[in-house]
Every structure is written in C-alpha cells, then in structure tokens.
Amino acid sequence: MIQFPKSADKAAIKDGVVRAGSTDLTERRHLGLADGPLIDLRDVADLDRIEWNAGGAKIGARVTLAKLAADEKIRAGYRGFAAAAGELATPQIRAVATLGGSLLQRSRCWYYRSPDAQCLKSGGERCLARGGDHLYHACFDLGPCVAVHPSTLGMALMTYDAQVSITGAASRSVEALLGDGADPRRENTLESGAIVTAITLPPPEAGERSAYFRATSRVRAEWPLVEALARIIVDDDGRITSAAIAVGGVAPVPLRRAAVEAALVGKLAKQSVYEAAARNVADGASPLPMTGYKVDLLPATVLEALERAHETAGT
C-alpha cells in the first residue's frame, strides 16, 4: 500500500517508510532492508519549492538535485553546493533524487547491501568489512562501522551553517542530523516518524568563494573515492577572513577539517597558502589496510577545491 499524504505533520506520516525520489529506497526494499507501507512525499505541499527570505534560501526537502544544480540563484549564492549537486551520481539519478533523500540515504557498504551477509548495520554481531574487502571504506576509523557516509550534499552543507527543519522535532544543523558515526546501525539522528521538510541556508557573504571537487576511479566514477568542499571568504585586501573545509568519502560522517581552516584564516588568498593548508587535511587519519590511498588523495583533492574556489572570485 502506498499513501500520498498532503501534509507533512506527524499524524499523516506515521507508521510507514518515507519515499522521495526512491533512488536508494527501491534498492533497499528489493534487498529486504526496508519494509512497511510506503508514504510517498509527492503530494506534500511546498516540499518542492525554493524560497528566499532575507537573502537566504529555504530549500524544500523534495527539491531534486538537478533543480538545485540548475537554479540560477542557488548557483550564484552557493556555488560550491550547487556544483556538488550537479556532479554527484548520474544525470538520471539527479533528475529524481531529492535533497532530503540525499541527506538521509543509507550506507552503500556492499556487506550491508548483501542479502547473504549480516553485519553491525543490519543487526549482526560484527563489521564484516574490517576483515574483508574495505577498498572504498574509511581512512578515519571513528566508529565500529567503517562504511563512509554516502551523502555528498551532507558534506557540502556542513560548510554553510545550514539548518534542517524536521516535523515534530527541533531543527538542527546538518552535523547534528548526520550524527557522530558512533552508532553503526544508523547514518542520521532523525526521529522515527519524522520527516525533513526543508534546509535553510544563511545569506551568502560578501567575498565568498566556494568550490567542490571529487577524486574518482574509472571503475566507479559515479561515486567519489574522496571529495571536498572548500568555502572561503576573502576581504578587499585579499586576506582570508573565514574558511570552511569539509571532506567526504573518508569516515562514517563527513568531516570538517579544522587544521586546514586554521591554516587559511588570516592569510593572503594565494597558491602557497592553499598548498600549505591542504597538507594538513589528513591529520589524524587512521587508514584501514586497503584505504591508505585515500590519505594520499586527500591533500590534492582539497587543494584542487581551494584553487577552484579561488577562481570563482567576482563571478
């Protein structure tokens, strides 16, 4: 049975599995990882709208990634975020996948998605990837589960102080929504029966420059090996007054990189500063036997994002 509620209030949504673009959910239902009646968000009012209030954007949870990437005002105000939305997955996926689903999608770990395996995430006793094939897993070993958080846009939004609106619960930052990776069974802190209705971005700041970059392999090019969002604010004297650097594909949650940010703030926005700052990105990394290559990829990935951000000056 599929329900199509017209309202996002809790009573309308209870007792079911929420469906947005279904690019993740359909596969998990086929694998027996998500069951129960479907609650499709198609008819819920206003979830597919982008509103502008006091210079900031309020983006409905059902806005598609393609729409985000193409929206002129989003591209102008939040360039790195728009680029991330336009570069992840494939055009076919972006046409139907939504902002809310992108944040709340579940892990792509092949053990979790295998009908023949039971791991910590699917109710088993141990992590099968640690002693098995973890080629695309974490290089920051932060929790019992070493799958990387799948959300590119979660990573990107961590650099924007975005706030997430949720039915029946307090709004929260994207960091708070994605959690700390300590609970291997979940990738977010969303309360049962709640839905994400919108993401609010503060107004863009003067002197803001931002860009997204991902390192990919030919074999699995739709997914990043590692990815980065660099967002810096540069004053009229060419000095960096604020920096937010996030990386994904490296840990059970996307990570802000404080050491890179600290090495940027107060310095002139120029190549040598970017190079020195990017070298700090893998501080604290604890790779698994097969993920040391990610530690090697990270500095160049962050440097490329910084260089691309630099080039967006005045555009």
Ligand X SMILES: Cc1cc2nc3c(=O)[nH]c(=O)nc-3n(C[C@H](O)[C@H](O)[C@H](O)COP(=O)(O)OP(=O)(O)OC[C@H]3O[C@@H](n4cnc5c(N)ncnc54)[C@H](O)[C@@H]3O)c2cc1C
| Residues making contact with ligand X (CB under 6 A) | 17-25, 41, 61, 88-90, 93, 97-98, 100-102, 104-105, 150-153, 195-196, 222-224
Q: How far apart are CA 262 and CA 265, in angstroms?
A: 6
Residue 129 token pair: 């990837």
Residue 112 interacts, among ligand SF4, ligand X, none and using kind-specific CB cut-offs from 5 to 8 Å, with: ligand SF4
The 274-313 site mask, x for binding ligand SF4 (CB under 6 A), equals ----------------------------------------
| Binder among 44, 63, 88, 120 for ligand SF4 (CB under 6 A) | 120
Q: Taking a C-beta distance cutoff of 8 angstroms, is the pair 195, 20 a contact?
A: no
**Candidate ranges 117-125, 150-158, 259-267, 275-283; the one touching ligand SF4 (CB under 6 A):** 117-125
3-class secondary-structure state, position 68 = helix
- Helix ranges, 203-291 (H): 258-264, 271-278
Residue 63 token pair: 């806005």
Q: Is residue 127 part of the contact set for ligand SF4 (CB under 6 A)?
A: yes
Instruction: Give the interface size with ligand SF4 as a residue count (CB under 6 A).
Output: 15
- Residue identified by tokens 């049962």 is 192
Helix axes 292-311 and 271-278, enclosed angle (nearest 10): 160
Specify the residue, 34 or 259, whose C-beta has the smaller distance to ligand X. 34
Q: How far is the CB of 261 from ligand SF4 (least distance, A)?
A: 28
Give the amino acid at 278. A
**Candidate ranges 141-149, 157-165, 231-239, 271-279; the one touching ligand SF4 (CB under 6 A):** 141-149
CA 177 to chain centre: 11
Q: Is residue 149 part of the contact set for ligand SF4 (CB under 6 A)?
A: no
Q: How far apart are CA 311 and CA 315, in angstroms?
A: 8
| Binder among 68, 119, 190, 260 for ligand SF4 (CB under 6 A) | 119
Number of Cβ within a 10 Å radius of residue 200: 17
Specify the residue, 180 or 311, whose C-beta has the smaller distance to ligand SF4. 180
Q: Taking a C-beta distance cutoff of 8 angstroms, is the pair 301, 226 a contact?
A: yes
Q: How far apart are CA 231 and CA 153, in angstroms?
A: 14
The 21-60 site mask, x for binding ligand SF4 (CB under 6 A), equals ----------------------------------------
Q: Where do contacts with ligand SF4 occur on this chain (CB under 6 A)?
A: 107, 109, 111-112, 119-121, 127-129, 137, 145-147, 184
